Structure 1
Amino acid sequence: MCFCVSKRIRKSFPKEFSRAIEINLPVDDSFYSSISKKKKSNKKRIAYLGRLDYSKGADIAYKLFKEINTSPDFKNIETFMYSYPWENDNFSLQLEEELKKDEYIKYIRANIHNQNVEEIDNDLKILIDSVDLFILPYRSLENTVDCPLVPLEINARKKFILTSNLECIKDLKLENIYYNDFFRNEFIISLNLIKKILFNINQSNSILEVGNKYRTSIISEKIIYSFNNFNKNCL
């Protein structure tokens, strides 16, 4: 039996191989807990969350934030990059150096090597809750098996996302998400689209409820059920 976390991976198996089962990537149940209160501020916070990686479009987010920070229409906007570099990747290291020098974009380097999983998750939940809109301009997700955890964790915290129009992301059917084709074509998106999304967020009286299908407890039940069903068929 083989568990696949995306349709693309599942389709890579021959049709006659019935033991390949599509299972969603799990998100720790704690991410579905109550949302921490955001600090009162007159400014909206837009952020990129993820590794400084070319395939994840970290440079696209960086260029977009530079444009936002120089636009008179976004005086009440803060831009953040919550990230860390590949230690042996020139693209990643060079982008980090540029971020360190930027006086407007707030670059916060993730401290993933000196914390345990629980500490990382707690910090991540507080971080997600502090942001109004996440920009995730993915070029490709094949190096993260088509399904990165970041969009799922953001969705669990009931926050808004603007991301690429990739099939593997659309297949997740997340709430509070906007798609953009331009990311995939290497173009910086229109600032008018950002303004429109922020306006929609302001007009939203309450954040939509999100589904539970990505909870670890739910995924675990599906895996156990699949194993039991498989064993019965083998008898």
Structure 2
Amino acid sequence: MARDFWPKIIEDQKMRIAFLGLKDAFDYYKIGGVESFIRRITYQMTTHFGINIDYILYGAQGEKMVDINPKLKLRYFKRFEHALSVINAKYDHVITVYLFPKDKLKYAYFRRKNKNLSFHKILFSWSDNPVWKSYILAEAKIFPYNGQFFCISERQYECVKKWMKNVVYILPPVPKDFFIRPEEKPNNKKIKLTFLGRIDPGKGILDVIKLFVVLKENSRLQCTIYGIYLQNNKKSVAIRNWLKNQRDIKYVEIDRENHSPLADEMVKNVFKETDILILPYKTLGSTIDTPVTLLEAMASLCAVITKPFGNIPDIYGKTKFIIPKKKFLPYVINFFENLTTEKLRKERKRIYKQNQKLNFATKAVVKKFLAALNG
């Protein structure tokens, strides 16, 4: 075993990987599902496996380079052509995140010219729209990647694998310090009900507001919204301004533009203290297809009230906490009238067992990711 292990470690330490895409799609300093996914796997690969990684980001105001740690660099470029110009034989793998549609044909030609490099793709979003789905699958079939095509939900995987062979299913990663055991969950005097996420109608924020206004008189509950608003989205700004000026709901703002270890620590602590997280999505098109927030909450043994979109029922498991899409609010209000602390304890134990089956801690996800890259 030792003979196999040490050469592999040395090989990993020599590996160089580029993550390529639009700056606004996975900016290292922003908070979001895609950003968390890439940030977590790259941090794990650089600090625990010694791999050299560059973010190749285009759509920036100018060219610059930022060192995050000795093995992780951010390289910014204005134009896509400039970003491509630095991708050469020094990289073993190029991971494609998100490109402008107008750049995809140029990128396909670039991949065809540089067959000595391994090009991979991570598919984050998904839609049940047949036109959108046909476009994504046709693009992957006509302009194939010579590496792996990573899917982050089972429905993506089941659909894509019909069209190509090099498909890998991995769940979004969650750091190990998010994971707790049932006995480590605090026993709160009041049931803490939380929404944490983007202030976006697609995330169901309007349903959250209506629900929390109704539940404010329930002395058993403590309701809080931790909101991330989009500065360039009029609806998001309007809802955020209303939340800041009202007094019925506790509102805590999270700065989307300012990720830091302190922000991660705050989110981890919020989930640890939360008894029930509410995720009333209108569509999964507003998030990555297996939501990171869902997995973070599960790791922290939060019961999650949500809807049966996509593969959420398979990930979260069989439970009465998944509410029908129709008449969501009446169902949830009635649900809280019949909720007991014993039901909540049983749900935590069920989630704990479900987490063991899924195995989505960052280290496990990265090992699977690297194994796929190495083929």
TM-score range, shorter chain: 0.7 to 0.9
CA–CA distance in structure 2, aligned partners of residues 50 and 199 of structure 1: 25
Alpha-carbon contact 1:31-1:157 (below 8 Å) kept: yes
Relative to structure 2, which stretch is displaced further, 26-35 or 142-151? 26-35
Alpha-carbon contact 2:226-2:254 (below 8 Å) kept: yes
Pairing 1:59–2:206 present: yes
Distance 1:186 1:96, change over 3 A: farther
Alpha-carbon contact 1:134-1:162 (below 8 Å) kept: yes
Distance 1:206 1:109, change over 3 A: closer
Q: Tell me the CA shift for residue 205 of structure 1.
A: 10
Amino acid at match of 1:153: E
Secondary structure of 1:135's counterpart equals strand
Secondary structure of 1:82's counterpart equals strand
Q: How many pairs were matched up?
A: 222
Pairing 1:185–2:322 present: no
Distance 1:204 1:9, change over 3 A: closer
Distance 1:111 1:195, change over 3 A: same
Pairing 1:217–2:217 present: no
CA–CA distance in structure 2, aligned partners of residues 145 and 202 of structure 1: 27
The equivalent of 2:215 in structure 1 is 68
Amino acid at match of 1:80: T
Amino acid at match of 2:252: I
CA–CA distance in structure 2, aligned partners of residues 96 and 173 of structure 1: 29
Which of 194, 210, 213 aligns to 2:336? It is 194
The equivalent of 2:157 in structure 1 is 10
The equivalent of 1:168 in structure 2 is 311
CA–CA distance in structure 2, aligned partners of residues 157 and 103 of structure 1: 29
CA–CA distance in structure 2, aligned partners of residues 114 and 43 of structure 1: 31
Q: Tell me the CA shift for residue 55 of structure 1.
A: 1.2
Percent same amino acid at aligned positions?
23
Amino acid at match of 1:164: K
Alpha-carbon contact 1:80-1:107 (below 8 Å) kept: yes
The CA RMSD measured in Å over matched residues stands at: 2.7
Distance 1:123 1:176, change over 3 A: farther
Distance 1:201 1:82, change over 3 A: farther
Secondary structure of 2:312's counterpart equals helix
Pairing 1:84–2:228 present: yes
Distance 1:189 1:122, change over 3 A: same
Which of 244, 248, 254 aligns to 1:100? It is 244
Structure showing greater relative contact order (alpha-carbon pairs closer than 8 Å, 6 or more residues apart): 1
CA–CA distance in structure 1, aligned partners of residues 188 and 299 of structure 2: 23
Q: What pairs up with 1:18-167 in 2 under 5 angstroms?
A: 18-32=165-179, 38=186, 42-70=189-217, 74-116=218-260, 118-167=261-310
Q: TM-score scaled to structure 2, two decimals?
A: 0.53
Structure 2: runs of 5+ lacking an equivalent: 1-147
Q: Tell me the CA shift for residue 189 of structure 1.
A: 3.1
Alpha-carbon contact 1:112-1:120 (below 8 Å) kept: no
Amino acid at match of 2:214: E
CA–CA distance in structure 2, aligned partners of residues 85 and 62 of structure 1: 15
Amino acid at match of 2:246: D
CA–CA distance in structure 2, aligned partners of residues 139 and 171 of structure 1: 18
Q: Tell me the CA shift for residue 142 of structure 1.
A: 2.1
The C-alpha deviation readout for 1:95-120, integer Å capped at 9, x for no partner, is: 1122223322100001343441x222
CA–CA distance in structure 1, aligned partners of residues 271 and 219 of structure 2: 22
The C-alpha deviation readout for 1:171-192, integer Å capped at 9, x for no partner, is: 31458771011xx336423312
The C-alpha deviation readout for 1:130-161, integer Å capped at 9, x for no partner, is: 22111110111123231221110010011111
Distance 1:200 1:174, change over 3 A: same
The equivalent of 1:226 in structure 2 is 372
Distance 1:200 1:138, change over 3 A: farther
Distance 1:127 1:36, change over 3 A: farther
Secondary structure of 1:162's counterpart equals strand
Secondary structure of 1:86's counterpart equals coil
Secondary structure of 1:121's counterpart equals helix
Q: TM-score scaled to structure 1, two decimals?
A: 0.82
Q: Tell me the CA shift for residue 7 of structure 1.
A: 2.8
Amino acid at match of 2:199: L
The equivalent of 2:50 in structure 1 is none
CA–CA distance in structure 2, aligned partners of residues 90 and 189 of structure 1: 29
